[in-house]
Amino acid sequence: MCYCVDSCVENHIQVQVPRIMEPGYIVSRVNLDGCGGGPLGLTSSDPSFAVEMDGTIRNVVITIVPEDGMFFWITVQDHMGQSWLVDVSLIYKKQVTNSTVLKRSKRRWSPPPFSIKENDKGPFPKEMEMIGSDSSVNFSVYYVIKGPGVDLTPAGMFSVVPQTGMLKVHNTVDREQYPKFVFTAYAYNTLNNAETDLPLPITVNVEDVNDNAPQFTGPMAFTVQEKCPMDTIIGKVNATDRDEPDTPHTKIKYTLQNGTNLFRIDPYTGVISAATNVLDREAAEKHFIGIEIRDMGGASNGLFSTGIAMVTLTDINDNPPTFMKSKLEAKVPENQEGVMILRIPVEDKDMNNTANWKAVYEITKGNETGNFMIKTDPATNDGLLYLVKPLNYEKQQTVNLEVMARNEVPLVGTSATWQKVPLEIKVEDVDEGPEFPESIVYLKIKENVPNGTLIGNCKAIDPETKNSNDITYYKMTDPGSWINVIGSTGELKTAMTIDRESPLVYNNTYNITVKAVDKSQKTGTGTVVILIEDVNDNSPMITKPEPVLCAKGAGRGSVPLEAIDLDQKPYSEPFSFEIVKPNDEKWKITNQRGTSAVLEPTSEMPNGIYKVPILVKDLQGFGKEQIVSVRVCDCTSDGGCAPQKLSTIFGTWGILAMLLGLLLLLLLCLLCILACSTKREKLAMADDGYSGGMLLKSNLEAPGEEVKDALFMVPANGADIMDGSKIGYQEHQNLSSSFGQKQTYAEGMYQNNMQGFLNTNTSGQYGIGMYGNSFKKHSTMSAGDGWQENGNQLNKKLIYFREEADVRFADDILRPYGFEGVGSPAGSVGCCSNFGEQESMDFLNSLGPKFKSLADVCKTKSQRGGL
């Protein structure tokens, strides 16, 4: 150590800091400006603080500054091994005075950092250095050390002689595991074991020795495109050394052990590059390069390791497809099509199943007629030549083609070009059927020629004999059966009338097909197109012969006439329209234009249908008379005729039919009156005088003969009805008539006095306040009147029992019971029952809920018109 006056750094730094410093807090900075340009080593004696390369002092742990401050020092060492110490004093801000100059406190501990070599062989324990405190001048002290390497992992590495302060090391140390130790020394008074000085951090640096060979890190596989330019960077080999960084122990040199003709490596960065521009994937796709890494800058005494780097060359399209033969040959029978005639193999050195390898074939010469097509077999990359149109031996015995093979992508990195190869195809002769000299034979004929007219000839030739001998002709298609084919000669004659206007004719043409058969039963087919010329065989025809003329009051309307002719010009338009004479001169033709004209009346025409004879002729004067039925009527908004009046529609017979219907209806009414006035047969119903409180079945539909012909008479003053003395009886001889009157009266009394009937007391008896003594005894009433009154009361009960609300169980109705018993005072409720001396109609109040089912049935019947 050197503590000379001319050191490059200041001797002391005093800084005021907060009481608590967080990690990362910048304490101060050591000024290194006067220390030259070489590398400097900066270390702190206190592990709580770190010193960066630029001299910045930074706190690394949470630190609490004591009230009397903190002290540590910074060691600065240059590349020559000379060291300087910088004292750092940290003062709690509270203690800082206004004085800008602070006095330096006297150092009481003065041990510099100690160092030991790693992997020291001993013998152990080995003395290191001695520590001492200034307090030993005044006190008898002993020393104690604590921390990592002492009582913490790795414990037992260091010890101190308490009386002398001599530090000792007890074991071998691996710097790569423990690059330094920082523990604390304490000084105690031997008399009272009190600390005589502040604790002192002790730093022990482990000096590195070159005991670790460099090792490869990262991938060792690289790729580069073939034919890449020289000096193209392929990749970088990475290596590391566990020894101390920035020392010769970790200075690595890279060396290639093979492949130096193709590759090179930077000795200090490990970057691999191409040493040539002729790297060829087709020659070698992968290259394995041996690499040595040695520390100590590659010195012979340095430690080293070796590894293998793999360089893979990626493909480019530098090889065109090449044909296996210099000339190709093939054979094909004539008249064949849609068959493969040749497989063309090629070789491509580029990577299989890539665009650089896949071949595309073209026929560059000889296929002007489009007879051939070539494809690529995706599995083998061969070219497949197909015949798509048949060849004719009689016309061409040999076909010469030229085929070129290329790739899907252009060539790069080579001066080669796409290859071509000649291909000779020989056509083989086969026995063929007859052939028509022309694929389509065109014949012309006028329509409507007589049957049997010769329209042309359709002959075939045998390609082998070049003549038409021994060939028979047959008709294959003839949609209208208009043509006959003469089998021995091939002549075509008309079999039926040929009509140009027929729907079988398209664009004035009519097609048939003819088959020719030679003596070897070989066949050939020809097409005959017959061009049909038009003749004037159609008259112009009016398209709408029944027009409507709308009546317009005093004005006269008109109707348009439109005609059409199926013939072509000059046998059709323009047309001429004229009214055929003699006529009544009520109509005239105006405004003739081409195919249309206007028909107008000469005077106002009444509604009706008028038939007008009109002659329509074409340009050649050919036409005929036609009848136009003009309907004159009142029109609706859409132009149609409005409906006629009913009187006009019905006519005489319609009125007679209506009168006959009214007569039949009158007879039907008379028949109904006669049927309703006929007296019905009376049915008597026995009364056993005992009903057991139940309603009895009865088939009685009207009062019996025992019912008196009497009914209540309604006085003019409705109030008199309340007095029973004013109610009288009226006798009638006609029972049915009197009964109907009584029913009418009873129903009226029920409707007008319903509240009176519903007025009941708690004893179940009908009140007599409203009616007086009119119903004190039923014996004063006739049997018919009693039956009618019972019916009214029953109707009222039926309505009441059909209600769903709970209030229908009124207080005057008995609750449900398990057994009704016998001897009910009500007796029978039949229409013909003998009331005897019954005093009231209380029995109607004792029917109870069980009467509901019967009420539903009876109510349903009542709705149909009966109880």
Query: pLDDT for 758-799, tens place per residue?
Result: 333 333 333 433 333 333 334 445 555 666 677 777 776 666
pLDDT in tens, 386-441: 999 999 888 889 999 999 999 999 999 899 999 999 999 999 988 778 888 888 98
Contact 435, 524 (CB under 8 A): yes
pLDDT in tens, 38-51: 678 888 888 888 88
Contact 600, 588 (CB under 8 A): yes
Looking only at the bridges linking them, the beta strands covering 548-550 and 623-633 are parallel
- Please state which of the ranges 114-123, 178-187, 848-857 shows the lowest mean pLDDT: 848-857
Identify the pLDDT of residue 850: 61
Q: Amino acid letter at 217? A: T
Identify the pLDDT of residue 844: 59
pLDDT in tens, 530-543: 999 888 888 899 99
Contact 252, 281 (CB under 8 A): no
What count of Cα atoms within 13 Å lies in the side-chain half-sphere of residue 638? 2
pLDDT of 569 strictly over 60: yes
Contact 547, 628 (CB under 8 A): yes
- Name the pTM for this structure: 0.43
pLDDT in tens, 577-608: 999 887 678 888 988 989 999 998 888 888 88
How sure is the predictor about 557, in pLDDT bands with cuts at 50, 70 and 90?
confident
Distance CA(730)–CA(709), nearest Å, equals: 7
User: Both tokens of residue 861?
Assistant: 């019947």
How sure is the predictor about 356, in pLDDT bands with cuts at 50, 70 and 90?
very high
- Please state which of the ranges 63-77, 82-96, 363-377, 490-504 shows the lowest mean pLDDT: 82-96
> What residues form DSSP beta bridges with 84?
76
How sure is the predictor about 210, in pLDDT bands with cuts at 50, 70 and 90?
very high
User: Both tokens of residue 729?
Assistant: 């009886």
Helix, strand, coil shares of the chain, percent, nearest 5, are 15, 35, 55
Contact 21, 42 (CB under 8 A): no
Mean pLDDT, rounded, for 443-461: 89
Q: Amino acid letter at 303? A: L
- Please state which of the ranges 146-155, 166-175, 280-289, 747-756 shows the lowest mean pLDDT: 747-756
More confident residue, 812 or 383: 383
Q: Amino acid letter at 771? A: Y
Distance CA(479)–CA(513), nearest Å, equals: 10
How sure is the predictor about 656, in pLDDT bands with cuts at 50, 70 and 90?
confident
**What is the residue whose two structure tokens read 């149909």?**
864
Mean pLDDT, rounded, for 328-353: 93
How sure is the predictor about 677, in pLDDT bands with cuts at 50, 70 and 90?
low
Mean pLDDT, rounded, for 173-178: 92
Distance CA(762)–CA(828), nearest Å, equals: 24
Based on C-alpha coordinates, what's the Rg of the chain?
68
- Please state which of the ranges 167-171, 307-311, 747-751 shows the lowest mean pLDDT: 747-751
Contact 432, 395 (CB under 8 A): no
pLDDT in tens, 293-315: 999 999 999 999 999 999 999 99
Mean pLDDT, rounded, for 271-287: 94
DSSP string, 203-248: EEEEEP-S----EEES--EEEEETTPPTT-EEEE-EEE-SS-TTSG
Identify the pLDDT of residue 406: 96
Distance CA(709)–CA(38), nearest Å, equals: 155
Identify the pLDDT of residue 641: 84
User: Both tokens of residue 190?
Assistant: 């031997």
Distance CA(535)–CA(499), nearest Å, equals: 10
DSSP string, 779-838: GGS-HHHHHHHHHHHHHHHHHHHT--SGGGS-TTSPPP-S---S--TT----TT---TT-
Mean pLDDT, rounded, for 648-665: 71
Identify the pLDDT of residue 347: 95
Contact 182, 141 (CB under 8 A): no
Distance CA(403)–CA(420), nearest Å, equals: 6
pLDDT of 708 strictly over 80: no
Mean pLDDT, rounded, for 709-724: 39
DSSP string, 626-678: EEEEEEEE-B-TTSSBPPPPHHHHHHHHHHHHHHHHHHHHHHHHHHHHHHHTS
More confident residue, 33 or 692: 33
Contact 461, 437 (CB under 8 A): yes
Cα 263 to the chain's mean position, in Å? 56
